[in-house]
């Protein structure tokens, strides 16, 4: 915010004074940026190390000093992942579960969000606050009964056991309600005059207008469930049903004495989908995270 400093106001100041101004206004800034840059490099280093080590010969994988640049990339670790664990199956399982949850949450949350934002019915506020209150309930407080329930429903050890309980979403409902409330009511009135019924107003008029909200929810949900570990660990026994994070943990267990390059090749592959989602959806990701905070 320091657009005017002593130097611009007093160009005739002495060298000594100019130096003290430099220390005061510039040096501190440079030190801050230097520290931030070093910190940024440290923060990104695990990614660079993961990718470079995944392309090195297994026997060199733990060599010291760490080598960051790989001159002769060795891709055999990547094929080895598929030999060690059913990694292709794990990728498919992860995609199936994650995409099903994303689509499911988009449906339930946009319906519920629209109801709370645009439809009037008795008990609307009470229901809204009750649903918001359930956001405070941690996963761990419900996981045991949900596990019992899933078993009783005959869904134990199926991918459906991960999908079904994740479909209702209090956060998504809140998010979509905010977006629906941001659409002016005039749209509804205009559509009513044009003879649209309530379902058409929702599907044809409002839903396209809250596309950014749907994108936010989709990106957040994808990220959360692609990386999920706790529920898959408890709900799945059969290795052919494992999702990627569970597979990574298993692979690490096998590899305690073997090559870490293979494990890191698997980690690298597991990152690709979330990176793609981030590259195309970072605006929505950040917007969604901020919305959670500003409204809290």
Partner 1 sequence: MASVASTTTAAPRSSRNPFHWITENTLAGMERRKALLGYLFLSPTILGILVFTAGPVIFSLVLSLFRWNVFSPPEFIGLANFDRFFHDSRALMSFWTSFVFVVFAVSLQLVVGMLLALVIQSRMVTWMRYTYRTAFFLPMLMSGAATAIVLSYMLHKEFGAVNYYLGLLGVPPIPWLSQPGWAMASIVISYLWLSMGFTMILFIGGLTGISTEVLDAADVDGAQGLTRFWNITLPMVSPTLLFAAVTGVIGGLQVFDLPYIMTYGGPGDSTRTAVMVMYEAAFKNMEIGYGSTIAVVLFVIILGVTAGQFGVGKRLVFYQ
Question: In this complex, which beta carbon is closest to partner 1, that of residue 76 or of residue 282?
Answer: 282
Closest to partner 1 by CB, 76 or 142: 142
**Residues of this chain, 26-85, that bind partner 1 according to CB under 8 A:** 32-33, 36, 40, 43-47, 49-50, 62-66
Count residues binding partner 1 (CB under 8 A).
Answer: 90
Q: Tell me the closest approach of the beta carbon of residue 192 to partner 1, in angstroms.
A: 8
Q: Site residues for partner 1, window 94-123 (CB under 8 A)? A: 107-109, 111-112, 114-116, 119-122
Residues in the chain: 296
Annotate 157-174 with b (16+ C-beta within 10 A) or e (fewer): ebbebbbbbbeebbbbbb
Q: Is 126 in the site for partner 1 (CB under 8 A)?
A: no
236 near partner 1 (CB under 8 A): no
Interface stretch with partner 1, choices 13-21, 75-83, 203-211, 220-228 (CB under 8 A): 220-228
Interacting stretch for partner 1, rule CB under 8 A, among 7-15, 73-81, 168-176, 208-216? Answer: 168-176
> 14: which 2 tokens?
């002495």
Of the candidates 64, 65, 68, 73, the residue with the CA atom closest to the CA atom of residue 41: 68
DSSP string, 21-58: HIIIIIIHHHHHHHHHHHHHHHHHHHHHHHHHHHTS-G
Compute the least distance from the CB of residue 198 to partner 1, in Å.
5
Environment class of residue 253 by beta-carbon count within 10 Å: exposed (0-12), middle (13-18) or buried (19+)? exposed
CB atoms within 10 A of CB 273: 17
Q: Which of 77, 93, 98, 169 binds partner 1 (CB under 8 A)?
A: 169
Restricted to residues 258-277, the positions that interact with partner 1 (CB under 8 A) are 260, 263-264, 267, 270-271, 274-275
| 142: contact with partner 1 by CB under 8 A | yes
Q: Over the range 200-233, which residues count as b (16 or more CB within 10 Å of their CB) and which as e? A: ebbeebbbeebeebbbbbbbbbbbebbebeebbe
Return the residues of window 191-210 that contact partner 1 according to CB under 8 A: 192, 198-199, 202
Applying CB under 8 A, the span of 5-13, 73-81, 210-218, 281-289 interacting with partner 1 comes to 281-289
What is the nearest approach in angstroms of partner 1 to the Cβ of residue 36?
A: 5
DSSP category for residue 184? -
Report the nearest approach of partner 1 to the CB of residue 74 (Å).
Answer: 18
Q: Which helix (H) or strand (E) holds 70?
A: none
């Amino acid at each position: 915010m320091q657009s005017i400093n002593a130097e611009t106001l007093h160009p005739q100041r002495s060298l000594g004074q100019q130096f003290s101004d430099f220390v005061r206004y510039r040096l501190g800034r440079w030190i801050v940026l230097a520290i931030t840059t070093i910190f940024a490099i440290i923060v990104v280093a695990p990614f660079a190390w993961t990718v470079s080590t995944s392309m090195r010969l297994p026997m060199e994988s733990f060599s010291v000093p760490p080598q960051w640049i790989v001159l002769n990339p060795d891709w055999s670790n990547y094929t080895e992942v598929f030999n060690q664990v059913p990694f292709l199956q794990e990728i498919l399982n992860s995609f199936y579960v994650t995409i099903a949850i994303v689509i499911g949450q988009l449906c339930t949350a946009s319906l519920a969000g629209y109801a709370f934002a645009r439809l009037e019915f008795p008990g609307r506020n009470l229901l809204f606050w009750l649903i918001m209150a359930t956001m405070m309930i941690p996963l761990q407080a419900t996981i045991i009964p949900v596990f019992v329930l899933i078993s009783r429903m005959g869904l134990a050890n199926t991918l459906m056991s991960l999908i079904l309980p994740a479909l209702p979403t209090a956060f998504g409902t809140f998010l979509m309600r905010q977006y629906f409330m941001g659409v002016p009511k005039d749209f509804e009135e205009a559509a009513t005059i044009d003879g649209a019924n309530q379902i058409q107003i929702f599907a044809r008029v409002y839903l396209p207008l809250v596309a950014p909200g749907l994108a936010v929810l989709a990106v957040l949900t994808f990220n959360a469930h692609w990386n999920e570990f706790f529920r898959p660990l408890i709900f799945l026994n059969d290795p052919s049903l494992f999702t990627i994070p569970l597979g990574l943990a298993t692979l690490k267990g096998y590899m305690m004495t073997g090559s870490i390059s293979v494990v890191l090749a698997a980690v690298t592959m597991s990152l690709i989908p979330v990176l793609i989602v981030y590259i195309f959806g970072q605006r929505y990701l950040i917007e969604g995270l901020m919305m959670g905070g500003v409204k809290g």
